[in-house]
Structure 1
Amino acid sequence: MKKIIASLLAALAMVSGAYAAGGAGIALDKFPKERLSDLAALQNGAKLFVNYCLNCHSAAFMRYNRLRDIGLTEQQIKDNLLFATDKVGDTMKVSLADRDAKAWFGAVPPDLTLVARSRSSHAGSGADYLYTYLRTFYRDDTRPTGWNNLAFANVGMPHVMWELQGQRAAKFVEAADPHDPSKKIHTFEGFEQLTPGTMSPQEFDSAMADLVAYLQWMSEPVAQQRVRIGVGVLIFLSIFLFIAWRLNAAFWKDVK
């Protein structure tokens, strides 16, 4: 239990520090929330997560068999998503050693089980941040990996899905700082497509929306069920309140 708590605190500290370092510089794009109730979107997001994220990032508090909640059968999970283990009941862990991760990336990639919840802030939801982050990588030869990100400046993670999106360069314009004219600031003006990806921009945005939907679902698999139960409880209490009000009126009607 102590190890689990320590891992959670370390992951939350890392992503919180990452947000402070690079997450507050741009306006966040709105994640299409309707994907959360779309089983096909969640299933595609799970496929993307296993193929592109689970190589370095773990989701140590999620079991593969929980994917049955988004409409997948145990056989489908075994045939299509079970690459890192042989048992459907295992958790989503990776074989990447912490020592190797530090040597290659400068830090251990955080566990992603709760990343969608931990990235919520005054600027937007965790899903908004992730949706923006995954779509704003650009080429930067000054970085060790050759990549940078608008939502997370000087990010250590490379763009693992660059083949889908293609390679892009970010265009910045230098201008005087409105608060201090003696200083210069760089304002983002847009992206320049350097090489095409296997997906169109619209298809890539849709794929990232599916991936973020899965990350949001993974952070709280019972969220939709909790909302339905809450609505049912409120309806029951409303009906009970009406009945109690009428019973009270009937009981005291002859009392003067």
Structure 2
Amino acid sequence: MIEILNPTLLARAKDSGALVADILQTLKSRSTVGTNLMDIDRWAKAMIIEAGAVSCYVDYAPSFGRGPFGHYICTAVNDAVLHGRPYDYPLANGDLLTLDLAVTKGGVAADAAISFIVGDARPPESVAMIETTERALAAGIAAAGPGARVGDLSHAIGTVLGKAGYPINTEFGGHGIGSTMHQDPHISNTGRPGRGYTLRPGLLLALEPWVMADTAQLVTDTDGWTLRSATGCRTAHSEHTIAITDNGAEILTVPTQAHP
């Protein structure tokens, strides 16, 4: 299903996007050495409920998962990259943490992810990997607009990731979003320009470049959800929800508040 949102729903999408971005930044500021992943999940739950929103994850049960996800946010540490299920783990100095959050408010969903390093350690390879996913995300957004094709976005993202030397997995990528979290079209993190669905104003997309340092192969954790690098290498993931406008693309998952 592909949804084209009217102006009323687009306004609600902006509210959903701002909420997701603000929650993520608040959680980033609280994620210090010793913070438990289960605390992050509890904080996310409290903020979602307080805002009158609904988690897209708690009852999420796609074919690739093992039953309902059962948590309010994805917390992926180090070699985990996607669908990281929170568990009893205190963060250590230098951990590479990815927080991925999707909520629905006013009937419209928004989805975003951030990767960052916990504490005061700054491993150069991890910093470079995070920055690469952020640059790839920016390139994908810059390629988006009315008349562009999905392949144009994939090509822009893949060019940045490939030039940086990272293998690219095409099993999971970006997606359409609207009244539900995951919709068509699928947006691979690499592709051929000029191919695929033609973007139209009112379309919402979640673009999400992610990489693993030295492999394109994923393995599923024993929890049935968390996807990790097959080699145990570190990973990074950046994501924004955007709206296609008459003149280009607008990022919806931008914080409205100042965060430390």
Flag whether TM exceeds 0.5 (same fold).
no
Structure with a larger share of its residues in strand: 2
TM (normalized to structure 2)? 0.28
Decide which structure has greater helix share.
Answer: 1
